[in-house]
Amino acid sequence: MIKKTLFFSKKCALTTKDEQLVIKSENRDATIPIEDIGFVVIENQEAYISIPALTKLIDNNVGVIFCNEKHMPNSMLLNLEGHHLQQSLFASQLNASEPLKKQLWQQTVKIKIKHQAQHLQLLNKPFKVLNFHESKVLSGDTDNREGVAAAHYWKHIFDFDFKRERYGDYPNLFLNYGYIILRAAVARAISGSGLLSTLGIHHHNKYNAFCLADDIMEPFRPMVDAKVIEIINTFPDKELTTEIKAELLKVLTHKPFILKIPKVL
């Protein structure tokens, strides 16, 4: 079953009773079974959530995401005991050899480039060069095929001049918000699988607690890109409105095979 994502942009109170999340606000009183929830995103700075509610959400491996005063996700609660074999899995991660990590990163990059090519094909944009780059990815991606493929991908994905930047102009803000949400979803899945998100296979910044999430999310980035293009074609806004955030959160309920390629007759 696809879990629900709850987004709270207005002042509210969240408590729990009988394994339900109890929601009270000016316009709404409701209850939702906690077992049906995948993510809770709390944006409003005056929202209240009780400790028992947080505990039950975490016990059910619900990702609870908190936003800062700029309405951007900046922290998340995760279950620290998400799997019964956690210690054994941690040990396997710690003992993973460098050749194994390089092979895993090679596979990750190949799948990412493949998904980027599929996305461009769906958009009727030039994509075959990405198939070539995918076939040439080496162990550890030592010749940076990921970067070369990305340069082609971002040059052609939009119907207007665009430069991909972390803090750049529209629609970078849409992309960044979507990637933050995707990262949180991957971190939740890693925690629930009993793995340690800090230990990556390629990313290894000592200040980053989610290196493995940053590795694993890479092939799924085109899902966010596709949603942003859908938003651009639907909404006139160039600001990150509450409505657009709600649309971006729908990425969490998309299935990975959303980027299907139609058969060519």
Same domain, 63 and 103: no
Same domain, 151 and 132: yes
Same domain, 124 and 241: yes
Q: Mean pLDDT across the stretch 217-246?
A: 94
Same domain, 96 and 161: yes
Same domain, 106 and 197: yes
Confidence of residue 265 (pLDDT cuts 50, 70, 90): very low
Same domain, 114 and 161: yes
Same domain, 102 and 119: yes
Same domain, 117 and 25: no
Q: What is the pLDDT of residues 177-227, one digit of tens each?
A: 999 999 988 988 888 788 888 889 998 877 787 899 999 999 999 999 999
Give the Å distances, CA to CA, from 29 to 23, 109, 140, 199: 6, 46, 52, 42
Domain extent at residue 200: 86-258
Is 32 a member of any domain? yes
Is 264 a member of any domain? no
Among the residue ranges 16-25, 78-87, 137-146, 245-254, the one predicted with the least confidence is 78-87
Same domain, 95 and 69: no
Instruction: Put the strands of the sheet holding 12-17 in their side by side order.
Output: 29-33, 20-25, 12-17, 48-49
pLDDT computed for residue 263 by the predictor: 39
3-state secondary structure of 187: helix
Q: Mean pLDDT across the stretch 2-22?
A: 92
User: Which CATH number characterizes residue 126's domain?
Assistant: 1.20.120.920
Q: Which residues lie below 8 Å from residue 21, measured CB to CB, with a gap of 6+?
A: 6, 14, 15, 31, 32, 33, 34, 37, 40, 53, 56, 57
Pull the structure tokens for residue 99: 């050749």
pLDDT computed for residue 174 by the predictor: 95
Confidence of residue 82 (pLDDT cuts 50, 70, 90): low
Among 77, 108, 142, which residue terminates a domain? 77
> Could you tell me how many residues make up the chain?
265
Is 12 a member of any domain? yes
Percent of the chain residues topping a pLDDT of 90: 63
Is 149 a member of any domain? yes
Tally the domains of the chain. 2
Same domain, 68 and 169: no
pLDDT computed for residue 210 by the predictor: 86
Alpha carbon distance 204, 198 (integer Å) = 8
Is 265 a member of any domain? no
Same domain, 136 and 245: yes
User: Which CATH number characterizes residue 72's domain?
Assistant: 3.100.10.20
Query: What value does the mean pLDDT of the chain take?
Result: 88
pLDDT computed for residue 84 by the predictor: 60
Is 263 a member of any domain? no
Is 196 a member of any domain? yes
Among 20, 49, 77, which residue terminates a domain? 77
Among 58, 77, 96, which residue terminates a domain? 77
Same domain, 54 and 127: no
Cis peptide before 171 (omega within 30 of 0): yes
State how beta strands 12-17 and 20-25 pair. Answer: antiparallel
Report pTM: 0.85
pLDDT computed for residue 167 by the predictor: 80
Q: What is the pLDDT of residues 105-137, one digit of tens each?
A: 999 999 999 999 999 999 999 999 999 999 999
Is 241 a member of any domain? yes
